[in-house]
């Protein structure tokens, strides 16, 4: 059974999340993350003290992790890919970064329509919707079957060539196209393109000890790049209702050149 102090702490955390997400102006990401990491290290040092009560350690650690989630929620709750004007019905995004424990991080991004006055359309009745199997096609077949214009890079690094195109029909005129490029050695990269339905959630995780993350600008859009210690990268961004991802073993500078050439 939960102690009274634990219940009170959870209630305070819940109230803090609501207040901060609704009204707080998010501080600079690097500064806030630095403060959180410092606090995390302090709590780890406390855990190593042999005479400290175990229940107190657990309670303090849980509060620290929860505080980190609150901080990151406040930072990211108002994030969206900027456009020149926010029109009714445009796609907006909401990104939440969660520290799962230790050095494990989960990033969840939700894409949805910006409805007038925050009014969401009524939910549809539950029904089973068939999704096509992913299949190998030619580039022209993918372009013809896709409900959106497939972006093909006009620049690829020397030694790379398009090896495979995969297509998958989803729901509500939604589809996914994957372009796979291989080089003469073990390097490769693939580009995934998918038009976003009315509501779509995408998530992935990584280890802070094995990867570094930074925000980047791709044209007039925001993007995120994760660079891993094994020299692989992952770049995600969104443009005009299409979610893009480039991942593989390719230098970051070359990957950005590929992205800039896509049309």
pLDDT tens-digit readout, 63-107: 444 444 444 443 343 333 333 333 334 555 556 566 666 666 666
What is the DSSP track for 171-227?
Answer: SSS-EEEEEEEE-SSS-EEEEEEEE--SEEEEEEEEETTTEEEEEEEETTEEEEEEE
pLDDT given at position 223: 86
Mean per-residue pLDDT, 188-208: 75
What is the rounded distance in angstroms from the CA atom of residue 179 to the CA atom of residue 151?
10
Mean pLDDT of the chain: 71
> 188 versus 62: which is more confidently predicted?
188
Max avg pLDDT among 229-233, 250-254, 259-263:
250-254
What is the rounded distance in angstroms from the CA atom of residue 87 to the CA atom of residue 91?
9
Residue 201 CB contacts under 8 Å (≥ 6 apart), including other chains: 108, 109, 110, 111
What is the rounded distance in angstroms from the CA atom of residue 31 to the CA atom of residue 44?
20
What is the rounded distance in angstroms from the CA atom of residue 143 to the CA atom of residue 145?
6
Q: Which SS3 state, helix, strand or coil, does residue 181 take?
A: strand
Is there a contact between 80 and 91 (Cβ–Cβ < 8 Å)? Answer: no
pLDDT given at position 181: 98
What is the rounded distance in angstroms from the CA atom of residue 29 to the CA atom of residue 131?
39
Give tens-digit pLDDT for 112-170.
Answer: 655 555 555 555 554 455 667 899 999 999 999 999 999 999 999 999 999 999 999 98
> 188 versus 129: which is more confidently predicted?
188
- Burial class from Cβ neighbours inside 10 Å (0-12, 13-18, 19+) for residue 189 reads buried
Domain boundaries of the chain, sorted by first residue:
1-78, 130-198+209-260
Q: Is the dihedral of CA 183, 185, 186, 187 positive or negative?
A: negative
What is the rounded distance in angstroms from the CA atom of residue 47 to the CA atom of residue 70?
22
What is the rounded distance in angstroms from the CA atom of residue 138 to the CA atom of residue 43?
55
Query: Domain 130-198+209-260 in CATH: superfamily?
Result: MucB/RseB, C-terminal domain (3.30.200.100)
């Amino acid at each position: 059974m939960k102690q009274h102090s634990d219940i009170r702490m959870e209630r305070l955390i819940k109230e803090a999340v609501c207040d901060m997400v609704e009204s707080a102006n998010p501080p600079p990401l690097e500064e806030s993350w630095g403060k959180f990491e410092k606090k995390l290290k302090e709590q780890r040092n406390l855990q190593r003290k042999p005479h400290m009560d175990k229940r107190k350690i657990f309670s303090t650690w849980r509060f620290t992790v929860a505080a980190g989630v609150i901080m990151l929620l406040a930072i990211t709750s108002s994030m969206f890919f900027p456009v020149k004007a926010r029109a009714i019905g445009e796609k907006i995004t909401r990104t939440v970064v969660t520290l799962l424990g230790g050095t494990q991080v989960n990033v969840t991004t939700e894409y949805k329509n910006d409805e007038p006055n925050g009014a969401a359309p009524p939910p549809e009745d539950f029904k089973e919707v068939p999704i096509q199997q992913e299949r190998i096609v030619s580039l022209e077949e993918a372009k013809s079957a896709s409900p959106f214009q497939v972006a093909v890079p006009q620049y690829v690094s020397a030694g790379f060539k398009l090896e495979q195109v995969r297509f998958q029909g989803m729901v509500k005129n939604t589809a996914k196209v994957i372009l796979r490029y291989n080089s003469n050695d073990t390097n490769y990269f693939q580009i995934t393109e998918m038009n976003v339905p009315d509501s779509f959630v995408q998530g992935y995780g990584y280890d802070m000890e094995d990867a570094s993350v930074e925000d980047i600008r791709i044209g007039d859009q925001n993007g995120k790049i994760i660079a891993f210690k094994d020299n692989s990268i992952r770049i995600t961004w969104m443009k005009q209702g299409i979610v893009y991802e480039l991942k593989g073993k390719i230098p970051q500078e070359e990957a950005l050149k590929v992205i800039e050439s896509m049309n």
